[in-house]
Amino acid sequence: MPLGNLRRALIALTVLPGIWLAGCSSTEPFEEPAPVPDVVGDAQLKPVWRMSVGDGHDGQLLHIQPALLGDVLYAASADGELVSVDPDTGDLNWERDLDREIMAGVGGDRKRLYLVSSDAQLLSFAREDGEPGWEVSLPNEVLAPPQSNGSLVVAQTIDGKVLAFDVETGDKRWQYEAAVPVLTLRGTATPLVGSEMTLVSFANGQLFGLSSESGQPLWQYAVGEPKGRTELERLVDVTAQPIVIETVALVVGYQGNLAAVDIRNGQEIWSRRMSSLRSPAIAYSNILVTESNGTITAIDGASRQVAWSQEQLAWRQPTAPLVLEDHLLVGDFEGYLHALSLEDGALAGQLKLDSEGLRVPMIRWKDRALVYTNGGRLAAIELIVRGSAPTAAPPRERPSR
């Protein structure tokens, strides 16, 4: 399938984590990160509104990310604050103190929100007001947000179990288990739950298409094959949710490949060697990847050759990329938000948001980026090219609780 017109066909479904081994508590990168680059470009990043959501990730290596469902933004913190926010204004619709620690979320569907607590309880809440609903026990920790197709909600544990529950009752519908290596990266790809098929990825480098009805495997595809003599060399975790374009899934793995896979049968369409922990993005027929070494690379969708590469963010653990106007946004572990030109990858703008860093994927809302920092700062960011628009007004801010 030619990928020259991917931008028009894109269904953007993004996600996850950082370069950490399971069990490690350090928040320092393995390699010496590049210094904060000097930026002399013409792009200004301006907060339109911002607010605090509890303690954010509370200093832990978590991936609690907000969810945009319809025209409402939901966010949660590790210390149990859950909020519903108007993404246009930053005004609160409601907030709840859950009085329990949260490890994963937010997922949702038309009626409910889903979180996972630190004691491995899958929790449901009413979208309308945050009223608690059913909860069920899971067999192990969950780092990725549960996902729902409106009929069932799917959660994936860190030890390779995928469990589906009825959204109305919380009754277990099915369970699938994959063998995972002893040594893995601390991160799990967010399941992608469709009406007929659920896409799940594992630390063994495999992407599976499971029947959403029964949980039975329909096909599997090896994103990466373990190679080398040491356990570190053999890491092939897939921690990034695929992007689906019509009947094609774009998937990338750590020390594996960037590949296009036919989701009807799991057959490879093409692949090229690449290592990444984040979901790619699509713009102007390019596939945009934040590589595991911090390099931002644009791959031409037709030729699969490198269109441009930006190395000034090396080892700064850039987040999943987000396309905004004619720029690409990525955050880093020191809390900087960077704007890159989509034309050639040149750094065009920069904004410091939170010294605790950025980790979870950003969300596109109209002409803004919705950003949630590790320290719990939730903000809407506007990109202004100098000379094209007046300077934005000072951001609206709600004080911390």
Q: Per-residue DSSP letters for 27-96?
A: -S-SSPPPPPPP---SEEEEEEEEEE-TTTTTTS------EEETTEEEEE-TTSEEEEE-TTT--EEEEE
Q: Which residue has the tokens 């009754």?
A: 171
Which candidate, 105, 73, 106, 65, places its Cα nearest to that of 89?
73
**CATH code where residue 371 lies:** 2.130.10.10
Give the integer Cα–Cα distance in Å for 365 and 82.
20
Please report the pLDDT score of residue 86 as a whole number: 98
The H or E element spanning position 7 is helix 6-9
Distances in Å between the Cα of 98 and the Cα atoms of 80, 134, 172, 281 are 5, 14, 24, 34
Q: Per-residue DSSP letters for 301-370?
A: TTT--EEEEE-TTTTS-----EEETTEEEEE-TTSEEEEEETTT--EEEEEE--TT---SPPEEETTEEE
Please report the pLDDT score of residue 41 as a whole number: 87
Residue 140 lies inside a defined structural domain of this protein: yes
- Pair 95, 130: CB distance under 8 Å: yes
Residue 1 lies inside a defined structural domain of this protein: no
Please report the pLDDT score of residue 396 as a whole number: 62
Residue 390 lies inside a defined structural domain of this protein: yes
Q: How many domains does the chain have?
A: 1
Residue 317 lies inside a defined structural domain of this protein: yes
Residue 262 lies inside a defined structural domain of this protein: yes
Which candidate, 271, 276, 274, 287, places its Cα nearest to that of 342?
287
Q: How far apart are the first and last CA of the chain?
A: 51
DSSP state, 276?
A: B
Residue 180 lies inside a defined structural domain of this protein: yes
Domain that holds residue 122: 6-398
C-alpha 296, offset from chain centre: 16
DSSP state, 224?
A: -
The most distant pair of C-alpha atoms in the chain lies apart, rounded to whole Å, by 57
Residue 252 lies inside a defined structural domain of this protein: yes
Positions of the chain with pLDDT under 70: 1-30, 387-401
Which candidate, 65, 119, 48, places its Cα nearest to that of 376?
65
Task: State which amino acid sits at residue 256.
Answer: G
Contacts with 352 (C-beta within 8 Å, 6 or more apart), sequence order: 334, 335, 336, 337
Residue 293 lies inside a defined structural domain of this protein: yes
Please report the pLDDT score of residue 28 as a whole number: 43
Q: For the whole model, what pTM was predicted?
A: 0.90
Dihedral sign from CA coordinates of 165, 166, 169, 172 = negative
Q: Please give the mean pLDDT across all residues of the chain.
A: 90
Which candidate, 143, 220, 229, 225, places its Cα nearest to that of 185?
143
Q: Tell me what percent of the residues of the chain surpass a pLDDT of 90.
A: 83
Contacts with 9 (C-beta within 8 Å, 6 or more apart), sequence order: 245, 246
